[in-house]
Structure 1
Amino acid sequence: MTHPASPRRTLAALAGAVLSLGLLVGCGDDAPSDVDDANATTSPGSPGTPTSGATASDPSTDGSSGTAEPKVIPVYYVGDTPQGDRLYREFTQSSGVAPLVAAGAAVTEGDPVDPDYRTPWPSGRFVSITQTSTAIVVEVAEESWLEAGSLDTALAELAVQQLVYTLQGTIGKRLPVTVEYDGRPADTLLGVSTAGGLKAAPQLDVLAFMNVTEPAEGTTVPDSFTANGRASSFEATVGWTIEDSTGTVVLEGFTTADGWIDKLYPWTTKIDVSSLDAGSYTFIARTDDPSGGEGGGPTEDTKRIIVE
C-alpha cells in the first residue's frame, strides 16, 4: 500500500491530533491480555511525535455524554491487504469529548490521517454510547443502520468489527457490544446479527497482518528514530524499507516480532537515517512472504516521514 507523500489530514469530527504510542496492543477475543489499547500513556502532541505523561482512556468512563480531559483512543479503519479488506489501527484524541462518544464518531465520520485507511460506515453519529458493567451499549439514530444498505456481507461484517475493536480498545475491556434503536434492543447492525452481543473476532480473521504505530503518518524524524508496530509474519520476520520521493529504496533492514502464527505481536527497531538528505520519504514495514508472491504477496503498512 505504498503511496506518494501527502498532506496531513485530521479527524473532521473530532479535531484531534493523531498520537503514536510505544505500547503495542490488540483487542481480539483470542487474546484477552491484549485488550489494553486504552492503557498506554501519551500526551497531546503533533502527529507522529511520541510523547509521554498523560493516561489514556479510563475504562470506567461513561461515554454517553458530557466532556472529559483529552484521552488517547485507538480507532480501527479498513485498508487493503492481500487477504482483502482488513482493519488497521490509528490513534487519536477524544479532545474533551467523552472517549466512547469520540470513538464512535471516529468510526462513522472519522477522516484517518493515513490516506490508505478508510471507513465504510454511513455518515452520521450514534445517539449514545454507554458502558455498563456487562456491555457497551450503542444506540443508532437511523433505522437504516440496522440494515447493510449498499455494503456487501463481508464488508458489513468487517465494519461491525471495526466498531467493536474500537470501542473495546477505548475502554480496555472485552465487553460485548449491544445495539438499540428508539430505546429498544435491535436484532441487527448493518445487517449483522447482534444476538448475544457483538464480540471481537479473532485477530487473524479481521486485522491486517502488519500495522505500523511509529512513525505515524507525517512524522518528522531526527537522525535516528524508533519504528514499532505489531505483526503476524512468517517466523516473526518484519522487513522494512525507506523510499525516496521517486520510489527508490534508500535504506532497508529487518527486525523480529515477539511472536507469530496465532495473533499480532509487537515489533520494534531503531533506524539510523543520518545518511539521508533532509526531505520527504516513505517508511514501509511488511510481513515476510515465503510463497514468493504466490500467496498474494506481503502485507504492508506505509507511513510518510520527513527527515530533518
Structure 2
Amino acid sequence: MQILGAPIQCGHVLTPTETVMSSLSLPSPTLSTPAWRIAVVGCAFSLIWSSAFIAGKQAMTGCGPFTLLSLRFLAAGALLWLLRRWLPGDTPQQAAAPAIAWRHALIAGLLTNVVYLGLGYHGLRHVPAGLTAILVSVSPLLTAAMAALWLREPLGARQLLGLLCGMGGVAWIMAGRNGGASALDHKAWLGVGMILAGALALAASTLYNRRAAGQLNPWRIARLQLWASGLTLLPLALWTEGLQLNPTPLVLASLAYQATVVSIGTTLMLLWLVRHGGAAKASSFHLLNPLFGVLLAAALLGETVTLSDVLGALPIVAGLGLVMRR
C-alpha cells in the first residue's frame, strides 16, 4: 500500500526515520518546466534575497533585529490578507490537502523567518552585509545532502561537482573580501556562527517547503508563514528590544521594501522553484548570493569590486550550470 506518497510493504513497521521520510516525500519535480525558466526565476530570487541583507543593515540603524523582522512579517501578512479576494483560490486538490502539509508549511516558515533570519540579522550586527550573503551560500550544499539522504532526491556526481565548485567560489570571495579568518574578531566570529546556524535552518526549511509546495496554495502558505513568524517574534522583540523604532525615511523605506518585495516575493519564488525544480536545485541559487551581494554592495554602498570577486564568481556560475543541467 502507499502512505503519503511512499510505498510501504504490508506487515512492515515503520521506524521513526522512515516515518519522517515518508511524511516528507513527494513525487518528482515537474520535469516539463524549461530549464531557462527555472534559471530566470532562480536568478531573480537570489538577487532579491541578497538585497535583503543590505536593506536590513540600513534598517537596523533605527530598530533592533527582532523588531524589524516582526514588523516586516506582520506587515507582509496583513498586505496578503487585504489582497486575498484578488488572489487565486484553492484548487480541489489543494482544498483536500492533508493537515500534515499545513504543519510542514508552518515549520518551514518558522525555520526560515524566525530561526534563519533571527540568527542571521543578529549576526549581521557584527558581520558585513556582503560577508553575510556569502556565508548563507553554504545552504545549497547542506540542502542537497539532506535532500539526497532524507527525501531520496537524486544527487549525481555532476550535481555534487557543481555544488563543490560553487562552494569553492564562495570561499575564494570570502577570503579575498575579508582578509581571511585572521581579520575577524571574537564578536564577528560569534556573528559568523549565528549566520551558519541559520543557514542550516534554511536548508531544513527548504525540505519542509518541498512537501507543502506541491499540495497547498502558495499564497495561503505565504500568509500562514508570515503571520506565524511575525507573531512568534513579537514577544521576543518586546522583551529584548522594547519594540523601539526610529521611523526615519530610510528605516521606513527599508521596512516597506523588505515586507513587500523580499518577504512576499522570495517566499512565492522559492515555493515555485521547489515545486518545479526540487529542493536541491532551488537551494542551489543561493550560490549566486555572493555575486549579487558584491554587485549590490558596489552599486548601493560604494564598495569596490575586485579582480578576486570576479574570479570567485566564475566557479559559482559554472557550478550552478552543472546543477541546472538536465
**TM-score of the alignment, normalized to the shorter chain, above 0.5:** no
Task: From the two aligned structures, give the one with the greater helix fraction.
Answer: 2
**Higher relative contact order at CA 8 Å, sep ≥6: structure 1 or structure 2?**
2
Task: Output the TM-score relative to the length of structure 2.
Answer: 0.23
Bigger Cα Rg: 2
